């Protein structure tokens, strides 16, 4: 008897998780190992964030929340986008999920039909193509060259787009390359995308604050406001706030897409842990001084 679907049979387990588990196994044997498998800050979660979670639990904030996320956290996310990125969203255009990976999974599940293409500039986060394949999509690899800083160029993008293209994935600052797109580079890509109105953009901005060498971050939706209604801006608490285990990711996007993703979420996880969401709100609304401390140590 075959238990595994043909769709799952074509999908590989997470390579980054496998590397990290192997490193942990070696470490448990007393072997000195540096684990570069996961993007995980080697700092504890800042104290004011864990205190907020404790207070939420003590106050009985332990029930199901709305599938989109608590209103308090979504308000904090709206304020964050306005304050840090110059972007205006409403709370209905925000969704909270179990990490940024689930945001991406929900978006693909809500939008992909069999054979739809997802453009992935190289080098890419290892889960992107596997999630696309699992949900019936076809990864289209756009090879980015070292001399261009591993950034996608308008010419490469134009060549990769077909009538079957559903998504372009952008990741800046990039994992694993470290590539950062400036405003001019994003606008040049936006000019190509304007000619192809059937293509959606997923901008993975989870490493927004892990940026070095005097470079400045700009969100895709800020650089290309004309494409905001076709863009999903993905972020989360894991990297900037050392909250990988709390599993709180979020995204902003056009209302029809967010509603569709909420439907997926309501039929899968129901909602994100209420206590973790209280911690997420405290992270966004509280002191941001630790971000500089983290970044300086990483540099």
Per-residue pLDDT, 40: 83
**Residue 242's pLDDT band (cuts 50, 70, 90):** very high
Rg of the chain taking only CA atoms, in angstroms: 19
Residue 75: predicted pLDDT: 98
Peptide bond into 147 cis (omega under 30): no
pLDDT at 118 exceeding the cut of 80 = yes
Task: Decide: 134 and 157 in contact? Cβ < 8 Å.
Answer: no
Least confident range of 11-20, 123-132, 181-190, 197-206: 11-20
Domain ranges of the chain: 41-286
Mean pLDDT value of segment 112-126: 97
Q: pLDDT by residue (tens digit) across 199-233?
A: 999 999 999 999 999 999 999 999 999 999 999 99
pLDDT at 209: 97
Whole-angstrom Cα distance, residue 26 to residue 172?
32
- Please tell me the distance from the alpha carbon of residue 174 to that of residue 188, in angstroms, as a whole number: 18
Most confident of 21-25, 176-180, 191-195, 213-217: 191-195
Q: What is the pLDDT of residue 35?
A: 84
In CATH, the number for domain 41-286 is: 3.40.640.10
Which pLDDT value is given to residue 9?
79
Q: What's the pLDDT at 66?
A: 96
pTM for the model stands at 0.94
pLDDT for 181-204, tens place per residue?
Answer: 999 999 999 999 999 999 999 999
Predicted local distance difference test score (pLDDT) of residue 41: 87
- Least confident segment among 21-35, 87-101, 208-222, 225-239: 21-35
């Amino acid at each position: 008897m075959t238990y595994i679907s043909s769709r799952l049979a074509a999908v590989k387990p997470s390579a980054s998780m496998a590397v990290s588990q192997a490193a942990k196994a070696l470490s448990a044997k007393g072997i000195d190992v540096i684990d570069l498998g996961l993007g995980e800050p080697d700092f504890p979660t800042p104290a004011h964030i864990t205190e907020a979670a404790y207070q939420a639990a003590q106050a009985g904030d332990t029930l199901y929340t709305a599938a989109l996320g608590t209103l308090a956290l979504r308000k904090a996310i709206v304020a964050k986008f306005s304050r840090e990125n110059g972007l205006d969203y409403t709370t209905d255009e925000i969704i909270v999920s179990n990490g940024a990976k689930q945001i991406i999974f929900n978006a693909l599940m809500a939008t992909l039909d069999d054979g739809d293409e997802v453009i992935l500039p190289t080098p890419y986060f290892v889960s992107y193509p596997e999630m696309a394949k699992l949900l019936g999509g076809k990864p289209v690899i756009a090879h980015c060259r070292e001399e261009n800083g591993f950034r996608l160029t308008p010419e490469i993008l134009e060549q990769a787009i077909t009538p079957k293209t559903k998504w372009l994935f952008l990741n800046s600052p990039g994992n694993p390359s470290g590539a950062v797109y400036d405003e001019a580079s994003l606008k040049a890509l936006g000019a190509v995308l304007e000619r192809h109105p059937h293509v959606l953009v997923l901008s993975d901005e989870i490493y927004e604050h892990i940026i070095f060498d005097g470079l400045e971050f700009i969100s895709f939706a800020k650089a290309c406001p004309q494409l905001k209604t076709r863009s999903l801006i993905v972020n989360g608490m894991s990297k900037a706030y050392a909250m990988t285990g709390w599993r709180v990711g979020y995204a902003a996007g056009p209302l029809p897409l967010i509603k569709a993703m909420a439907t997926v979420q309501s039929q899968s996880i129901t909602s994100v842990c209420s206590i973790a969401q209280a911690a997420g709100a405290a992270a966004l609304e509280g002191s941001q001084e630790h971000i500089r401390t983290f970044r300086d140590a990483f540099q």
